[in-house]
Amino acid sequence: MAHLLLVESWVGAMGTLLPRAVAELGAEFTFLTRRPEHYPQSAPDGLPHPLRLGRGVVTAETNDPATALAAARTLHADTPIDGVLTSCDYYLPLAARIAAELGLPGPTPAAVVAACNKALTRAALDRCDVPGPRHVTVPADDQQRLRTGAEMVGFPLVLKPTDLCAGMFVRRVEDWAALDTAARDLLRFEVNARGQRREPVVLLEEFLEGPEFSVESWIRDGEVHTVGVTDKSLGGASGFVETGHMFPADVGDQDHARLVAAAEAAIRAVGLDHGVVHTELRLTAAGPRIIEINPRPAGNQITELIRHVTGIDLPRIAVELALGREPALPTVPNGQRGGSRALSAAVSMLVPARAGILTGIEGTEAVAADPAVIAATFKAPGHRTTVGVDNNSYLGSVIALSHEQSGARRLAEGLLSAVSARYEEPAP
């Protein structure tokens, strides 16, 4: 039986989808983590959580690459490892490095490092003349360089960390005062959710105007294969919270081709040569512009949308590639509903309009019962919400399938509009 090393994981959707793919391929995994207690014991249905279904758990300090590598070598000597992977962005460079050191299939580690750090990504794209926004990386606590950087980029601009994800601390700023506040907020967030010390720098980027998309690809032997283009709805307090996605994107053939070409050029520019990649772009008046490159399957259920429309399961491809196998692509889409296949699939997220403690979410039964819905999950009463400033604040989501090209977004958004969150009112 093929044996994978799973290096940490997200606890959201991908924490279930990757272990499921491993099981479906008849393989098994050992889970390497610094804190087993970070992960749930059981799934919402009460059964053991898929992350608990591996052949074992190895506890080692994954924030120290040498310690993690030593633990992987010890395991490998005892139970040979055939492939290494993770779903968690903060451990993508480590997973690539372990694979390389053990002589297993995987991407070039330096390429993963470049893709996972937004400043290095911009530098790699510039070197290869992939067009992008004006940008500069400066120390977050250096007022003078922040000011000169902002003058060079021009307002409005986007301030963002180089090493976070889920839209955390990404802000559009209109003037110096807002820039100063955003930089100070980011500076105070010194350690990420996995206990890793952050880089005390900020990336300032020209604000790219235009609709946003992502291109989903996989790479084997350096050859890039693109599965399709997803479109993205944005909202929330920052304007950058992902409020929904639809696959395939509602975009004309010509723009589709331009988006794919831009994403593939960016993938080559950072040197990614193996694995699944999710590239985010905006389609500006001047053409597609890269937002970021993620060397892992798309999150936020996008891979499920694609699976329902095309039958292609990107987490499964990620596992196959990690094992050095040629992905087995389906010939018949599995989005079979009412006898005909779904032509589009969309996910819509419920984003809190305010902070507080949930007393309940009304209207969820009707959503779950709708024949177009294939998955609907919502937070339970007692959940403490923050204001919706990033993708970590969702109160729930619904996935709908449609038999119409581009019909699914309307369905999913319509269903969620009938749902409302109720909050505990503060004591008078």
Using CB under 5 A as the criterion, which residues of the chain lie in contact with Mg ion when the complex forms?
280, 292
Q: Tell me the per-residue interface mask from 119 to 158 with ligand ADP, x by CB under 6 A, - otherwise.
A: --------------x------------------------x
CA–CA distance, 11 with 87 (Å, rounded to integer): 9
The answer to the question of residue 189 lying near ligand ADP (CB under 6 A) is: no
Select the binding partner of residue 234 from ligand ADP, Mg ion, none (C-beta < 5 to 8 A, by kind).
ligand ADP
The answer to the question of residue 170 lying near ligand ADP (CB under 6 A) is: yes
The answer to the question of residue 323 lying near ligand ADP (CB under 6 A) is: no
Select the binding partner of residue 164 from ligand ADP, Mg ion, none (C-beta < 5 to 8 A, by kind).
ligand ADP
Select the binding partner of residue 205 from ligand ADP, Mg ion, none (C-beta < 5 to 8 A, by kind).
ligand ADP
Minimum distance, C-beta of residue 280 to Mg ion, in the bound complex (Å)? 5
The answer to the question of residue 231 lying near ligand ADP (CB under 6 A) is: no
- Residue 295 or 356 having the CB closest to Mg ion: 295
Among 164, 173, 293, 412, binds ligand ADP (CB under 6 A): 164
- Residue 291 or 322 having the CB closest to ligand ADP: 291
Select the binding partner of residue 208 from Mg ion, ligand ADP, none (C-beta < 5 to 8 A, by kind).
ligand ADP
- Residue 173 or 342 having the CB closest to Mg ion: 173
HEC letters along the chain: CCEEEEECCCCCHHHHHHHHHHHHCCCEEEEEECCHHHCCCECCCCCECHHHCCCEEEECCCCCHHHHHHHHHHHHHHCCCCEEECCCHHHHHHHHHHHHHCCCCCCCHHHHHHHHCHHHHHHHHHHCCCCCCCEEEEECCCHHHHHHHHHHHCCCEEEECCCCCCCCCCEEECCHHHHHHHHHHHHHCCECCCCCECCCEEEEEECCCCCEEEEEEEEECCEEEEEEEEEEEEECCCCCEEEEEEECCCCCHHHHHHHHHHHHHHHHHHCCCCEEEEEEEEEECCEEEEEEEECCCCCCCHHHHHHHHHCCCHHHHHHHHHCCCCCCCCCCCCCEECCEECCEEEEEEECCCCCEEEEEEECHHHHHHCCCEEEEEECCCCCEECCCCCHHHCCEEEEEEECCCCCHHHHHHHHHHCCEEEECCCCC
**Candidate ranges 98-106, 203-211, 350-358, 379-387; the one touching ligand ADP (CB under 6 A):** 203-211
Minimum distance, C-beta of residue 227 to ligand ADP, in the bound complex (Å)? 20
Among 5, 72, 159, 166, binds ligand ADP (CB under 6 A): 166
Q: How many residues contact ligand ADP, by CB under 6 A?
A: 19
Among 216, 231, 280, 304, binds ligand ADP (CB under 6 A): 280
- Residue 205 or 216 having the CB closest to ligand ADP: 205
User: Is the Cα torsion angle 119, 161, 232, 319 positive or negative in sign?
Assistant: positive
Minimum distance, C-beta of residue 262 to Mg ion, in the bound complex (Å)? 16
- How distant, in Å, are the alpha carbons of 3, 34, 42, 232, 247 from that of 60? 19, 5, 22, 37, 39
Q: Tell me the per-residue interface mask from 287 to 306 with ligand ADP, x by CB under 6 A, - otherwise.
A: ----xx--------------
Minimum distance, C-beta of residue 212 to ligand ADP, in the bound complex (Å)? 5
- Residue 157 or 318 having the CB closest to ligand ADP: 157
Q: Where do contacts with ligand ADP occur on this chain (CB under 6 A)?
A: 133, 158, 160, 164-168, 170, 205, 207-208, 212, 234, 240, 280, 282, 291-292
